[in-house]
Amino acid sequence: MNAYELNELTHKYLVESGHNRCHPETCTCWNFRVFEKTSNGSKGENVLNSDSSKVVKQFLLENDP
């Protein structure tokens, strides 16, 4: 799954892909970052970093049913 598909699973969080902001061959950032969504829909506190879309999906399903 990509960040766009993961965002469709949640209303409470925002999912970003670290590779959208850097060069993939030399990337040292996390592939996925999950942020709490603020009341105006922007990103708030970072709550999860993971290289696995499966881990992110499980987090979203457990925390935003």
Three-state SS at 12: coil
Per-residue pLDDT at 29? 60
Whole-angstrom distance, CA of residue 52 vs CA of residue 13: 17
- Cα–Cα nearest to 59, from 43, 44, 48: 48
Please write the tens of the pLDDT for every residue from 54-63. Answer: 999 999 999 9
Please write the tens of the pLDDT for every residue from 5-51. Answer: 999 999 999 999 865 555 555 555 668 899 999 999 999 999 999 98
Per-residue pLDDT at 37? 96
Q: Residue 26 carries which DSSP code?
A: G
Domain segments of the chain as ranges: 3-63
CB half-sphere exposure, 18, CA atoms < 13 A: 18
